[in-house]
Amino acid sequence: MAAKTQPSSSSSSLVLIMSLFLLLLSLIVPSSVLSATLRSDIQALESIIRSVDPSSISPSSYLSTWDFSEDPCEGAGTFLGVMCSFPLENTTSRVIEIDLDDDGYDGFLSDEVGNLTELTVLSLNKNRFRGPVPETVFQLRKLTKLSLAENFFTGDISPEITRLKELKTIDLSKNSIAGEIPPRISALRSLTHLILSNNHLDGRIPALNGLWKLQVLELGNNHLYGMLPKLPPSLRTLSLCFNSLAGRISPLHRLKQLVSLDVSQNRFSGTVGHEILTFPEISRINVSFNQFISIEVIKVTGSRLRMLDAEGNHLQGHLPLNLATYENLKDINLRSNMFSGDIPRIYGKRLENSWRSLYLENNYLSGTLPEEFQKISKQIRGNLSNNCLQCPKNVQICQGTQKPKSQCTNAMLGSLE
């Protein structure tokens, strides 16, 4: 009987080495099947680009790189603006972000965007998307950022938006969105930025004090009316300009973290309280074109206020002397009010040293221009015209005519009554 042939030790070693190599290769290079993007995500991306006018997709744009002959999550240099998740074992890649460039894409947002159920960011800013925001967007429960600013979206803000509990940023500014702000928007407790300015929103602003993380609230250039609602004390930027809001602004006294405040072009009345001017971080205050009758300016130290604009109100009495104690103040606009009396000499000293602009025209200021104004050597921005001043024409800030004497006399008599 023939003897069995024993495998050589060199053959066994070769088999072992090959087996180890294949195992290592499988760990380093996952199979294309396991790492491919989920089919429904690919279909959603295909639908998104089909909803955009091809003639608006330039060769240098992000959408021009969407080549569906390659996998969206694997292609090198393709699918710009798309971010994917790294697949776990036995799972497929998922689209988690769509952040398009501002190339002027013209079209609609496809309903199939709602199938991207892992999406956390949807940003389509500065394009020409139009039509209503699809209801399917409000199925994207993991969305943290919804930014559709500077497009042509219409319709209203669906109450379904309150289902997106993870949202931190909503920016729908500069569109044509109408209707009311959803009353239950305070349910979005994670919100830090709510930007709805430059739309056609109307109605009252709902109570927003439940948004305890909110830092930026911009609702300007709409058709909102009524009084100020309850607002969260966490706010750092508040813009309500160009609406029809009315009443007192005393509810703002609680917003001690404000850095920038703009309530201009409304119908607010009463007093601009000293609490607002002395917020620890406040840098810019614009209360112009309202119906305020007084502004409280107390003496301060360490203020960060740089800009104060109170133009176009009914502010009366003497110019606030304590403005000179705001050491970081640069730009002051008090034009078109009813201030009277002399201009404080300290104003001239501040213009020479630290103030960059001072606009006091169209008031009822009187007397001789303090000599400090005549000694200013640097170039400044400002105007003292249309008052009742004795203002030398050779002084830069005195350019323009003064009120007729009769108008000044009538104003003085009226203030004495």
Measure the CA angle with vertex 153, ends 152 and 157; round to 5°: 150
* Residue pLDDT tens, the chain, 417 long: 444 444 444 445 544 445 444 444 444 444 333 448 999 999 999 999 999 999 999 999 999 999 999 999 987 789 999 999 987 777 899 999 999 999 999 999 999 999 999 999 999 999 999 999 999 999 999 999 999 999 999 999 999 999 999 999 999 999 999 999 999 999 999 999 999 999 999 999 999 999 999 999 999 999 999 999 999 999 999 999 999 999 999 999 999 999 999 999 999 999 999 999 999 999 999 999 999 999 999 999 999 999 999 999 999 999 999 999 999 999 999 999 999 999 999 999 999 889 999 999 999 999 999 888 888 867 789 999 999 999 988 888 888 899 998 888 776 655 545
* Per-residue pLDDT tens digits for 241-265: 999 999 999 999 999 999 999 999 9
Is 355 within 8 Å of 328 (Cβ atoms)?
Answer: no
What's the pTM? 0.89
Among 280, 281, 223, 236, smallest CA distance to 262 is for 236
Name the DSSP class of 152.
E
Note the pLDDT of residue 214: 98
Is 304 within 8 Å of 282 (Cβ atoms)?
Answer: yes
Note the pLDDT of residue 26: 43
d(CA 134, CA 226): 30
Backbone angles phi, psi at 339, to 5 degrees: -65, 145
Q: Could you tell me the strand order of the sheet in which 364-368 lies?
A: 316-317, 338-341, 364-368, 388-390
d(CA 256, CA 277): 10
Exposed/middle/buried for 202, CB within 10 Å: 0-12, 13-18, 19+? middle
Note the pLDDT of residue 414: 55
Is 160 within 8 Å of 184 (Cβ atoms)?
Answer: no
